[in-house]
Amino acid sequence: MSTIAEMELPAQEFALRKTLEHVPEAEFDIVRVAAHDNDQVLPYLWATADDFEKLDEALRDDPSVDEVTLLEDLGDERLYRMNWVEQIRVVIHILVEEEATVLNLRGKENRWRLRTLFPNRDALSATYDFCEETGLTLDLRNIYEMSDQRHGLFGLTEEQHETLMMALESGYYDVPRDATADDLAGDLHISHQAVSERLRRGHRSLVKNALAVGPGDGRK
């Protein structure tokens, strides 16, 4: 069964180490990453920083980066395409050796957070062993198995998925609303409090697993 793992790597052992050292307030959110061979990784990433001129200079001087291209400039954030050519062994292993998929990858301050879909638990174990053998630090923050249902990708329970879908279909999210929490409670034959809890926990899981990988996303 497929396995999702949330992992953490120290920034000094990963790409963009020099950039994060010179621009410590910078944040990077990777929206796509692919390995073309065993020597290069091609990420598309959103970046935020207080001074983009300083960030661009740091990227040009970073030995782990090659061929930086600015794709979009929205003022307070920018989209870049670049090649990573150093300190990428763990990503190469995940993408090439284990044929896994990086769902989220975020760099901030002194760490990178990864959320990865492995084809099975053995692939995750092999990645952990690879890091130990090569002297890399890999901190496993959370591990869970994918169910055979699509909602498992976002960490939703069956009850949360059912409630969210019913809320969507009944017009709970419409403006103005066509259904209330009491309506959902009646249809599901549960209490108003139970509906509110399912919605709250379900919303949190969606935001955490679909949008955010960063500080605070491990809180209960």
Confidence check: pLDDT of 154 > 90: no
Residue scoring higher pLDDT (174 or 1): 174
Residue with tokens 């209960």: 220
Q: Which residue did the predictor score with more confidence, 86 or 2?
A: 86
Whether the predicted pLDDT of 218 surpasses 60: no
Percent of the chain's residues with pLDDT above 90: 67
pLDDT over 80 at 170, yes or no? yes
* Structure confidence by residue, pLDDT tens digits, 2-37: 888 989 999 999 999 999 999 999 999 998 898 877
- pTM comes to 0.69
User: Look-up: residue for tokens 């409630």?
Assistant: 163
CA dihedral 28, 12, 93, 80 (to 10 degrees): 30
Over residues 102-120, mean pLDDT: 91
Average pLDDT score, the chain: 88
pLDDT band, very low/low/confident/very high, at 158 (cuts 50, 70, 90): confident
Q: Cα separation of 41 and 37, whole Å?
A: 8
How many helices (H) and strands (E) in the chain?
A: 7, 8
120-141 mean pLDDT: 95
Q: Residue 191's pLDDT is what?
A: 93
pLDDT at 213: 43
The average pLDDT across 166-191 equals: 92
Instruction: Report the pLDDT value the prediction gives residue 216, as an integer from 0 to 100.
Output: 45
Q: List alpha helices for 14-157, DSSP H.
A: 17-22, 52-61, 89-92, 121-134
